[in-house]
Chain A
């Protein structure tokens, strides 16, 4: 099958049922997208399908079709993604960083859909992304800074 990933068409040999996460990580070697729980509880595997945040650990690759996949490796080419990544580094949101590809993907999707999210909108969009280092204070601040930029 063919997948459109970060604007590039990739030919992939994988069964339809294989979750997109494992196609990205193991078949294509794009390891920026992370495995965290396998049951859509933590958000570490978040990618965009046509700009909408989805959990790639629960998405069979056969359902992707011709929708555009964006991953952490490519989200910097979007306006919202670039703003979030810059905001993240400006205030040093990141600690261990393992959950942050997912955090950044969720935050970028939020910002693209809602340019000025309030705390409730941030909570709603980000509550599916766990961070064990506890960077939530700065994630909230980072999204607000990105919205102002």
Chain B
């Protein structure tokens, strides 16, 4: 998502200039963040309030318990484990001796070196944090060794460490970290500390087992939704079903007569029912007679939303990348043009929105799973008109994020309700409320034009129109009319094209957009890769060969394309399938998130136009890897997420309301629709690339291209519409 931190530096607005300068120094000078501030005083909400805190990430207790405070939150993507691997590698301690905890809101210590604010997303965790965490681990180890050396009166250079124990081989003495932790924490951290040579790695690069899964397998993990507080009540809520609408009048009588219901909270735009349990609250909500004041958007429907987007696309574009003179080259010759449209998509994490809040005595305690603890804290504080320091965020392992927990809207709603409730209250959304009141992946309209000479692209014009997530989410980063997330994947394409023009048009809409797994490259790569296949088809060239011919200067891209083609048996026909007589094979290439991926999908299409994906082969060069098993899992899972989107995913509006509400009408892939998924990794020592998003990005155009190959019809609006590829009768 945000991989160009320099573009943020110097921005004004929500981030203080000082914070930006500090980040700037850190990024430009190669200093590391978070370990500049050792021995910070413990705050009430920190996981371990006593003992020796070496830096923002590592705490060693006198009883040898080691607690790692994780700057990036765990939502399934495996970063609890990968961050712990980085810390434990340099600290020389086993993962089995480590307790992991989420960081509290604390921009100074846990602001991401890439995302700038304290956030987890955009497949940035490993590239952002592996360096700082390794340095933090090495620094703590050096201090511990120094303390032991002082205690024994020996040269620290003669001491060794292994699994939390310091040994002086000369004398045979040894001491555990906990015994010297207090002494060590009082020492001045060394200015420079040597990191391990990769040849000595015990943990980094190894497929070690995850540290979060044993509790998850036995139902012991406490997600935000599992919060239980003494005296807690349970609530559910409903906001105006019409976008932008308000509450008109509410007849509470039947709700209040429902057994277990304690209270109805009516706010200007939503209604909540507070009860002794969630079921009673839901019964009470169903019994409320609510008259909504629908407001200005009661007639909003999907065709109007598409039309408004298309109208915006005809305006003046802002240049995101320019080389040569593409418009001049696109005036004559062999030209191609196509437009692709991507739908609203809900994240629909399995753990629906929920938040437990206790407002009392001028403070606000919040229990929630969030990718943005700072946003949650400031959002709650603003809702109550109190100082953010009075808001405590107790973060949790998250039951699926995918970008949904990069927003604090649900925290704010819960806090607004809780302000009217005596005692702690857990607010849980119904699945329908969660899907209908989401912040969606916005609509995108991508228009592409290209010129082909001698079998190669020579001019390229890509115009992207969409709601600017960046302008809403991180205003200082929206500069010069460019949303760099929206054009990510469209700029710096791996193909050699001399004349290029990439433009962006910000589309304002009543329906706000949000980051969604795959972020900007989702739509950009989809459009580019479908367009490339269209050109290959129209010029009678093999799609893989066409791409290969333009990759001379991007060997990593060529490498994954060749590997995927080889493993998938490109050039041979896809096998017969019981799911449909029409078979096709499609390819995609992606260079984004610092990673290179190619995907090849096989599909079978029935006479009715139903698409079955039968096999997906992915080749990935993601640079260095902290945990190769988690890498595999992320690509496998990302593929499934993308399959749900391309086959089933759309949110649509009618009468100002979202038409979908649950998994019966907002479908996600089921196991009986699963293709085989093969992931092939190119060994690499290049810089860490992102792995959470790419699987989602590459599989969607691969499937669309396979459907194109199978049917001869290129679908230009997603998801796949069976009616458009049904066999004519």
Contacts and interface: CB of A to CB of B under 8 A. Distances in A.
B639 A35 contact: no
Contacts of B611: none
A53 interface: no
Contacts of A22: 277-279
Interface stretch (B136-144, B344-352, B375-383, B466-474): B344-352
B663 A130 contact: yes
Interface string B316-352: 0000000000000000000000000000000011111
Nearest to B629: A92
A41 B663 contact: yes
Given A127-B672, A133-B400, A100 B640 contact: no
A122 B671 contact: yes
Contacts of B278: 22, 25-26, 35
- Residue of A32, A71, A92 with highest tally of chain B CB at under 10 A: A92
B350 A89 contact: no
A127 B348 CA distance: 18
B350 A98 contact: yes
Contact of B216 (A27, A100, A126): A100
Given A32-B218, A89-B213, A137 B636 contact: yes
Interface string A82-121: 0001001100101111111100100000000000000000
A146 interface: no
B217 A100 contact: yes
Interface in A116-148: 122-124, 126-140
Contact of A85 (B218, B222, B401): B218
A36 B672 contact: no
B228 A96 contact: no
B572 interface: no
Most buried by A among B78, B400, B662, B671: B671
B431 A36 contact: yes
Interface in B239-277: 259, 276-277
Contacts of B663: 37, 39, 41-42, 130
B217 A104 contact: yes
A98 B218 contact: no
Given A92-B629, A134-B636, A97 B668 contact: no
Contacts of A94: 210, 212-213, 216-217
* Chain A interface main SS type: loop
Interface residues on B, range: 35 or more
B637 interface: yes
Interface string B230-245: 0000100000000000
B279 A26 contact: yes
B428 A97 contact: no
A18 interface: yes
Contacts of B637: 95, 133-135
B641 interface: yes
Interface string B608-640: 000000000000000000000110010011111
A123 B671 contact: yes
Given A25-B278, A35-B428, A37-B663, A72 B674 contact: no
Contacts, number: 169
Contacts of A133: 76, 400, 637, 640-641
A73 interface: yes
Nearest to A126: B671
A96 B670 CA distance: 17
Nearest to B637: A134
A41 B661 CA distance: 12
B77 interface: yes
A44 B350 contact: yes
Interface in B652-667: 662-664
Contacts of B76: 95-97, 133
Interface string A53-88: 000000000000000000111001000000001001
A117 B638 CA distance: 27
B349 A97 contact: no
A53 B247 CA distance: 41
Which of A39, A130, A137 has most chain B Cβ within 10 Å? A137
Contacts of B670: 127-128, 130
A97 B228 contact: no
B219 interface: yes
A72 B636 CA distance: 25
A98 B279 contact: no
Given A22-B277, A98-B349, A139-B671, A88 B259 contact: no
Contact of B226 (A31, A73, A128): A31
Contacts of A34: 225, 350-351, 399
Nearest to A120: B672
Contacts of A71: 219
B358 to A, nearest CB: 17
Contact of A134 (B210, B629, B638, B664): B638
Contact of B641 (A31, A123, A132): A132
A140 B219 CA distance: 20
Contacts of A132: 348-350, 400, 402, 641, 668
Given A19-B279, A97-B76, A26 B234 contact: yes
B677 A137 contact: yes
B209 interface: yes
Contacts of B400: 96, 98, 132-133
Interface in A1-55: 15, 18-19, 22, 25-27, 29-39, 41-42, 44
Contacts of B430: 38
B214 interface: yes
Point out which of A34, A76, A99, A126 has the most chain B C-beta atoms below 10 A from its C-beta: A34
Contacts of A138: 633, 636
Interface of B: 75-78, 209-210, 212-214, 216-223, 225-226, 228, 234, 259, 276-279, 282, 348-352, 397-402, 428, 430-431, 629-630, 633, 636-641, 662-664, 668-672, 674, 676-677
Q: Which 3 A-B pairs have the closest CB atoms?
A: A32-B219, A134-B640, A96-B76
20 contacts: A25-B226, A34-B225, A38-B430, A72-B219, A89-B209, A92-B633, A96-B351, A96-B400, A97-B76, A97-B213, A98-B349, A98-B399, A100-B217, A104-B217, A122-B671, A128-B670, A129-B671, A130-B668, A134-B669, A135-B637
Given A89-B213, A100-B217, A132-B350, 14 more contacts: A26-B234, A26-B279, A33-B219, A36-B352, A38-B430, A71-B219, A94-B210, A95-B76, A97-B216, A98-B399, A100-B216, A131-B350, A134-B640, A139-B671
